[in-house]
Structure 1
């Protein structure tokens, strides 16, 4: 018997196995492989578990891997910190509460509106819930229809996003998918999350390709280079902050970097 969470657990294992090169684990025997990555029996051997047990895990069967097994799979598949955390989250099989669109507390909304730097608030499904004048000027959120106020819809469907991120669009879009995947896989049975991904898959071939890669990552800070129609090309540092009263709410703030956006010189 399989469950949606178990299926995602198996899908994630399979995606990491296929991504791992035999050379990385000392298994290059010189023979040509018909499929990329490691074989199931190779992962099982590296993890020190039975092949049949590993196959059941990949198939999404209703089995519960122990912490020892999860540690062994983490080492065998060379998972990074974000991937290891995601594997454990999927293994817990905790069913979250049904998604309900969040409301931004008036105090938070007033704080966001008072900021001079571009700032906005998103919810668990990455819906755009509040933003200030600077964010509207920079990102154009005020021009989005209510049904389109979502970071992923903005990034993959709204033409303005591609123009704004210019040559950096693909990198930023893949990063967003990997971040969102960690949340989605824990809400994969929720109709609101399913509907969002279905809409994105129907609208963007790039989203389908990168979504099926099943990459995950963590982190809420970094830099973005934006090519604004009126202000020109600017580099911004950004950071996100979680609300204490509701952990689903995240505040994002963009700070312009004084140095001009230039490409690094090749050595």
Structure 2
């Protein structure tokens, strides 16, 4: 059983770490007007998907958190492995301590498929909608993923935080709601994933639509359909899209966009592919 002294130390440790972080460090806008440096309690609580009252009692040393809450807080507060171990020791959760799972990498077969897709945009999506790999035409259609920091290279984060996405997609709201629905399905499958919890908390803080849609009931997302783009270089594109699940890793999907031959979208996609190849050369 954890002693009151350990819980008090745990609370002090959380409070001290919270004071060391700036809003920008955790992906939140810095609106100023803070009386003390660091994050507010309600910001940490929202990022960790727990109530402000629960987090307040944690800092006051009044409750013992579960291992899943500790893992989430370790991610939200950007703790090093050493700091994370110390957090678990203070909560007397040594037996429940787990290292962060290894970063997901695109399956080699999916990468080979991407290399062969020269006329169709394609991306490999991971378990949290992380972008694991892409081909040049996908970068030309959507955004230059190479310029996005790897830890921020996520479909949902880009869709909600990159202003250009709202003009690129003709029906951005429908696309965004489908994205939220997909994340909800993933959260139901992996309820203790701290990175996923942190992503949901971050986007809830940054975008009111995301927070509203996350709390509403929505039909499951589809694995195929049609999307309309307003591309700044080649104009309007109407593309069909489909997903292909990796047999050896069901948490990876290859998403491919195609255009019907003989249409203006088909010609536009070929034009875009030519431009992408020219830039590569």
**Residue number in structure 2 paired with 1:200:** 203
Per-residue deviation, 1:99: 5.1
RMSD: 2.0
**Residue number in structure 2 paired with 1:134:** 137
Stretches of structure 2 that go unaligned for 5 or more consecutive residues are 1-99, 266-281
- 1:150 is matched with which residue: 134, 148, 154? 154
Q: Contact 1:99 / 1:190 at 8 angstroms: preserved in 2? A: no
**Residue number in structure 1 paired with 2:105:** 103
Q: Contact 2:131 / 2:153 at 8 angstroms: preserved in 1? A: yes
Normalising by structure 2, we get a TM-score of 0.55
- In structure 2, relative to structure 1, the CA distance for the partners of 1:240 and 1:149 (3 Å cut) is same
Q: Contact 2:130 / 2:153 at 8 angstroms: preserved in 1? A: yes
Deviation by residue 1:53-75 (Cα, 9 ceiling, x = unmatched): xxxxxxxxxxxxxxxxxxxxxxx
Summarize the alignment of residues 71-86 of structure 1 with structure 2, pairs less than 5 Å apart.
none
- In structure 2, relative to structure 1, the CA distance for the partners of 1:186 and 1:105 (3 Å cut) is closer
Per-residue deviation, 1:206: 0.9
CA distance in structure 1 between the partners assigned to 2:101 and 2:231 by the alignment: 34
Q: Secondary structure at the match of 1:159?
A: coil
CA distance in structure 2 between the partners assigned to 1:209 and 1:174 by the alignment: 10
Q: Contact 1:181 / 1:214 at 8 angstroms: preserved in 2? A: no
- 1:211 is matched with which residue: 203, 211, 214? 214
CA distance in structure 1 between the partners assigned to 2:212 and 2:101 by the alignment: 26
- 1:113 is matched with which residue: 112, 115, 126? 115
**Residue number in structure 2 paired with 1:72:** none
State how many pairs are aligned: 164
**Residue number in structure 2 paired with 1:179:** 182
Deviation by residue 1:154-173 (Cα, 9 ceiling, x = unmatched): 1111112112114x001111
Per-residue deviation, 1:102: 1.4
Q: Contact 2:180 / 2:214 at 8 angstroms: preserved in 1? A: yes
- 1:254 is matched with which residue: 248, 253, 257? 257
- 1:159 is matched with which residue: 158, 163, 168? 163
Larger RCO: Structure 1 or Structure 2 (Cα < 8 Å, ≥ 6 residues apart)?
A: 2
Q: Secondary structure at the match of 2:169?
A: helix
Deviation by residue 1:76-97 (Cα, 9 ceiling, x = unmatched): xxxxxxxxxxxxxxxxxxxxxx
Per-residue deviation, 1:188: 2.4
Asked whether 1:125 is paired with 2:139, we answer no
Per-residue deviation, 1:239: 0.1
CA distance in structure 1 between the partners assigned to 2:110 and 2:195 by the alignment: 25
